[in-house]
Amino acid sequence: MTTKAAYALKLPHSVKNAAQRLAAIDGVSLNQFIAVAVAEKIGALESAEAFLKQRAGKAKPSDMKSILRRAPRGEVITSDQAA
Protein backbone atom coordinates (compact mmCIF):
# COMPACT_ATOMS: atom_id res chain seq x y z
CA MET A 1 0.00 0.00 0.00
CA THR A 2 1.30 3.46 -0.88
CA THR A 3 1.39 6.01 1.90
CA LYS A 4 0.64 9.61 1.09
CA ALA A 5 1.80 12.82 2.70
CA ALA A 6 -0.14 16.05 2.79
CA TYR A 7 1.69 19.22 1.86
CA ALA A 8 0.20 22.69 1.70
CA LEU A 9 1.48 24.12 -1.54
CA LYS A 10 1.54 27.83 -2.27
CA LEU A 11 1.62 28.63 -5.97
CA PRO A 12 1.49 31.92 -7.82
CA HIS A 13 -2.04 32.43 -9.14
CA SER A 14 -0.84 32.24 -12.74
CA VAL A 15 0.81 28.85 -12.17
CA LYS A 16 -2.20 27.46 -10.32
CA ASN A 17 -4.59 28.69 -13.02
CA ALA A 18 -2.47 27.15 -15.78
CA ALA A 19 -2.20 23.86 -13.85
CA GLN A 20 -5.98 23.81 -13.28
CA ARG A 21 -6.62 24.46 -16.97
CA LEU A 22 -4.23 21.71 -18.08
CA ALA A 23 -5.56 19.26 -15.47
CA ALA A 24 -9.08 19.84 -16.77
CA ILE A 25 -7.91 19.21 -20.34
CA ASP A 26 -6.28 15.95 -19.16
CA GLY A 27 -9.41 15.04 -17.21
CA VAL A 28 -7.61 14.71 -13.87
CA SER A 29 -7.75 16.55 -10.58
CA LEU A 30 -5.39 19.41 -9.86
CA ASN A 31 -3.83 17.28 -7.10
CA GLN A 32 -3.16 14.39 -9.50
CA PHE A 33 -1.79 16.76 -12.14
CA ILE A 34 0.66 18.32 -9.66
CA ALA A 35 1.68 14.90 -8.27
CA VAL A 36 2.45 13.60 -11.77
CA ALA A 37 4.33 16.80 -12.66
CA VAL A 38 6.51 16.48 -9.54
CA ALA A 39 7.12 12.78 -10.22
CA GLU A 40 8.14 13.56 -13.82
CA LYS A 41 10.56 16.25 -12.65
CA ILE A 42 12.11 13.90 -10.10
CA GLY A 43 12.50 11.21 -12.76
CA ALA A 44 14.12 13.63 -15.19
CA LEU A 45 16.58 14.96 -12.62
CA GLU A 46 17.50 11.53 -11.29
CA SER A 47 17.96 10.16 -14.81
CA ALA A 48 20.18 13.10 -15.76
CA GLU A 49 22.21 12.72 -12.57
CA ALA A 50 22.73 8.99 -13.17
CA PHE A 51 23.73 9.64 -16.79
CA LEU A 52 26.23 12.34 -15.84
CA LYS A 53 27.72 10.22 -13.04
CA GLN A 54 28.20 7.35 -15.47
CA ARG A 55 29.88 9.61 -18.02
CA ALA A 56 32.03 11.31 -15.38
CA GLY A 57 33.10 7.93 -14.03
CA LYS A 58 34.84 7.17 -17.33
CA ALA A 59 36.52 10.57 -17.64
CA LYS A 60 40.22 11.06 -17.09
CA PRO A 61 41.85 14.47 -16.64
CA SER A 62 44.51 13.50 -19.17
CA ASP A 63 41.80 13.09 -21.82
CA MET A 64 40.57 16.63 -21.23
CA LYS A 65 44.10 18.04 -21.42
CA SER A 66 44.54 16.31 -24.77
CA ILE A 67 41.35 17.90 -26.09
CA LEU A 68 42.24 21.34 -24.77
CA ARG A 69 45.68 21.21 -26.41
CA ARG A 70 43.98 20.85 -29.80
CA ALA A 71 41.81 23.94 -29.29
CA PRO A 72 42.76 26.86 -31.50
CA ARG A 73 44.74 29.61 -29.86
CA GLY A 74 43.82 33.23 -30.31
CA GLU A 75 42.19 36.18 -28.71
CA VAL A 76 39.33 35.55 -26.36
CA ILE A 77 36.07 36.88 -27.74
CA THR A 78 34.76 39.54 -25.38
CA SER A 79 31.33 37.90 -25.11
CA ASP A 80 33.04 34.64 -24.01
CA GLN A 81 34.85 36.22 -21.08
CA ALA A 82 33.52 35.74 -17.58
CA ALA A 83 32.02 38.84 -16.04
**Domain limits of the chain?**
13-70
Confidence label for 8 from pLDDT (cuts 50, 70 and 90): very high
pTM for the whole structure: 0.59
SS3 for the chain is CCCCCCCCCCCCHHHHHHHHHHHHHHCCCHHHHHHHHHHHHHHHHHHHHHHHHHHHHHCCHHHHHHHHHCCCCCCCCHHHCCC
Percent of the chain with pLDDT over 70: 96
Angle at 23 between CA 18 and CA 26, to 5 degrees: 130
Confidence of residue 83 (pLDDT cuts 50, 70, 90): low
